[in-house]
Amino acid sequence: MTLDLVGPRRWFFLASAIIVLLSLVMLAVFGLRPGIEFTSGSTMLVQFNGGVDQTELRSLYAGLGHSEARVQSTGQNQYLIRTSELEVPPGSFTEVAPEAETDFQPVGPQPLEELGTLTIGAESATDEVLLRQPFQDDPCNFGAGAGTLPAGTEASVVATYTQCGEGDDLVYQVASGDALGLVRAADTRDFVPVEEPEAPAVDQGEKTLIENALRERFGEFEVLEFASVSAVVSEVAVRNAAIAVVIAGLFIMGYVAFAFATVPKPFRYATCAIVATVHDVVVVLGAFALFGQVFGMEINLMFVTALLTVIGFSVHDTIVTFDRIRENTRLQPNAPVGDNVNAALVQTLTRSLNTSTTLLLTVVAMILLGGVTIREFLLVIIVGVVAGVYSSVAIAAQMLVSWEEGDFDRWFRRGRRRSSEAGQVTS
């Protein structure tokens, strides 16, 4: 007995209509919670060393003039905090690359940076110590003399050559008065390095003010992630996201029509694929409207990326089914359309379920083991894959049969006739 998946297609359409209607209702009632990429603002992911109460954290932000701050726990003593756009001076997050350092400092009368001080002569030494010049520009090999300094003289260290060895073999370049030359560590003592002055704290505007207040109230913490998006950038992101989805839909429609150009009425295949894809997108949007209301999830550019991935997966699943329908039609051109479509669905159902289950297991593992930064992406994939498998069986292929067999025209005429009869009864 062959599984009949085409016969109850009106029930598939009814279930799909209910799912889409519920998704639209959730979108209308709850709406989507846009992230900072779409609304502008600043987010900070903070990991505290000690325990922090979420209410106290929100109260601190309110005291700093950010009563709109949304605080969300993302782990043990870890919080994602979103505020309106913080006032951050331009260039605050630009790191200056350090200048390249060289091991050999040229010997000469030019000004040299002092690295520290030492005393000429080993312990209990009384004789003068000969300073040397480098041999053939190699500071580890001494050449001619460069002058002498009495033992006990304090000299400035202007270069250190660690490549010459360690301990007593270490070579310094020292300067005292007019004398400048090389000397081994064995002939010196009491080296005192110059203390590096602390770099002044970079003023990052409100971010610095908030961090100082957090540190004073809750102790040490680490900023794992910080992002700030202006209103101009968010407007561009919204526009580009919408354009990306529309362009993807147009290209998919054109590709399906081209790929199935050898079958009669290829435009119907393309239209059915697009309707199934729109169904999947609406279901994902409705699910995230609910997730935003219940779990506080926001949509961001990662969400858009996942949505485009779902569109591609959905169309791929539909094309596999359509390709089998085309093959069955070629082998049995006189068979009813419903029989060929049903056979194609039965033949591809196991493949679709196996592929989707494998993908879902991988995504679930990533949700359980991965971080919060890709959570929205993975949830979109889960909802979209489930919706895509359903739509390729219950929408795309079923619409193709109904279109070929005139179900839509028949249902439309029946509905008009019932409306007309109801109007006559009322009058």
pLDDT digits (tens, 9 = 90+) for 96-155: 444 445 455 544 444 567 788 888 888 877 788 888 888 888 888 888 888 888 888 888
Q: Are 325 and 352 in contact (CB under 8 A)?
A: no
Residue 100: the pLDDT is: 45
Q: Helix (H, G, I), strand (E, B), or coil: what is residue 53?
A: coil
Q: What is the DSSP string of 355-397?
A: HHHHHHHHHHHHHHHS-GGGHHHHHHHHHHHHHHHHHIIIIIH
Residue 264 has pLDDT above 90, yes or no: no
Mean pLDDT of 49-75: 86
Query: Where are the extended beta strands (E) located within 49-115?
Result: 70-75, 78-83
Tokens found for residue 160: 């250190």
pTM metric for this prediction: 0.62
Residue 395: the pLDDT is: 93
**Percent of the chain clearing pLDDT 70 (strictly above):** 86
The residue whose two tokens read 């079958």 is 263
Tokens found for residue 30: 């709850």
Distance CA 227, CA 301 (A): 13
The residue whose two tokens read 């009949």 is 4
Q: What length does the chain have? A: 427
Distance CA 205, CA 90 (A): 10
Distance CA 279, CA 365 (A): 27
From residue 267, give the alpha-carbon distance in Å to each of 215, 334, 336, 407.
63, 21, 20, 18
Which residues fall within 8 angstroms of residue 352, CB to CB, at 6 or more apart? Answer: 317, 320, 321, 389, 392, 393
Distance CA 16, CA 185 (A): 84
Distance CA 276, CA 321 (A): 13
Question: String of b and e for 375-393 (b: at least 16 CB within 10 Å)?
Answer: bbbbbbbbbbbbbbbbbbb
**Which one-letter amino acid corresponds to residue 56?**
E
Question: Which residue in 48, 53, 80, 82 sits closest to 67, CA to CA?
Answer: 82
Residue 380 has pLDDT above 90, yes or no: yes
Q: What is the DSSP string of 28-45?
A: HHT---B-HHHH-EEEEE
Residue 27 has pLDDT above 80, yes or no: yes
Question: Interior CA angle at 235 toward 231 and 238, to 5°?
Answer: 135
State the average pLDDT for the chain: 82
Neighbours of 174 (CB within 10 A): 24
In tens, the pLDDT along 166-187 reads: 777 777 888 887 788 888 888 8
Residue 400 has pLDDT above 50, yes or no: yes
Which residues fall within 8 angstroms of residue 65, CB to CB, at 6 or more apart? Answer: none
Q: How would residue 353 be classed by pLDDT, with cut points 50, 70 and 90?
A: very high
Neighbours of 303 (CB within 10 A): 24
Top-confidence range, 205-209, 235-239, 395-399: 395-399
